[in-house]
Structure 1
């Protein structure tokens, strides 16, 4: 995925440059504009990426947002930038004021490292207080990259992004709650499980005991799940190693003799009148010494059976049937000069 490669390159660039960047303006040019370019929008085209976009609010005139990305002459994303050293705080952001005046569905608050994407899931034309997509560009996961790619110019579809935004936002919030409950189970969370397994009265003492039990049970459950996956992965790796070892053992049993190489040279000498030498390749096996066209098992030219007492030349017809011809000496191969066409 090209977006993934470009994001990784930008993350590496940020790691090298950030300590040399002190201002919001340099943060924009070094980190934010390259990100916009990765999304496929031309930052040098003032009709596509508009810097200092004017967003008048009521009696306030000349209010400006750092960037607005346009498509079909309409703003589709407004962007507010901060210095990379600043923490993002949406509540102090001017995006809330700009959002409803620009008729866009998406707002981005960023310091070039942390990114927060907002939309209006809760109230139409009013920016949500919480972002639906949030990430640190230096610590991206594949699932996040997939969501970022939806904002690419070639993929951009307002309805599709909004549809997934709802799921992203509430899934993120639920995961936060789960993390909190795992660290410090709330009274209602503990009570939910205690009611299911305990028949007696839930006194304060009992609830205290169940708080520890619920915490331990979840920790053990997660640990068991992780161990199960690790064991499954290890078992699969062991099986793969066994298969590779078996193949290596089979290959190690194959001994290519000088006599087979000499027979191969004779075959090449015959076939080179019709075929380029580079297309004639041999593969030695335990059963026979195969000579192939284009190193392809489906294109056998002939076979040398030199492992037994009697030597044979295996001539293969168009139907892949093999006829074995006995050889008293290697030079006898010349008697069967019927080269295959390539």
Structure 2
């Protein structure tokens, strides 16, 4: 139950996210590219494919009003968090040409949850859309390879090229330069070509990290809330659950956070390790002022039995905490 397809199905079912028809082309394109026989397991296609599917409807909401702005602007405006990364990010503006393609690393942003990079690619001769997918490796200033796919990672295409929001785990160090290796996986290729290397600096990550370490129990489930990371682009929470229904798997947490007059919904979830009882719950919006009292509320837990029937365990499980 941990393969990319089943995870996408469970998360889409739990969060009721359905790709818009207009973005189905992009998802089919990526799916076709991932069908290469014996493709290396290190390629982060699951992140790209799931991210594109879950973000599809959001990207297209801009509609005709967004036609006057460029593709990268539209893609970065897909969620409140990525819009913050675009508006407050560092201007990098590095462009490199290799073969038939030019890749531009436009901007970068970092907070306590993730590194966000805005990247676009176009054909050098300007002949039309780019039928390829990104393959990436990002190392922080300490040389640590950062995991990709923190939160939604997605992109879009038009008749000029391809733009994508790349998201990675937060850095272990910020003293020095990051190094991004990037390649394009084109239709029918068995191994990516990764000739693009970008080196750049980012400011220190912003936000707050809080160890809550509280447990709440009901007849439906026991829920442990561990670490909460409050960033400007998103909020994430580490959760461990012990549900009463032991047949179900692929669990996701539904709920919200309250901070003053603001309510921030949980928009997505992931299973970071081998146990689907250890979850990450995340939002598409963040906070630029984490100080003060918070309430984290899980309203229900959603899982799936082996016969594909959905299980919904009702809460609430409430966790108050504060940030200095």
Give the TM-score taking structure 1 as reference length: 0.21
Q: Which structure shows the higher helix fraction?
A: 1
Q: Which structure shows the higher strand fraction?
A: 2
Give the TM-score taking structure 2 as reference length: 0.21
Q: Quick one: higher RCO (CA 8 Å, sep 6+), 1 or 2?
A: 2
Quick check: which has more Rg, 1 or 2?
A: 1
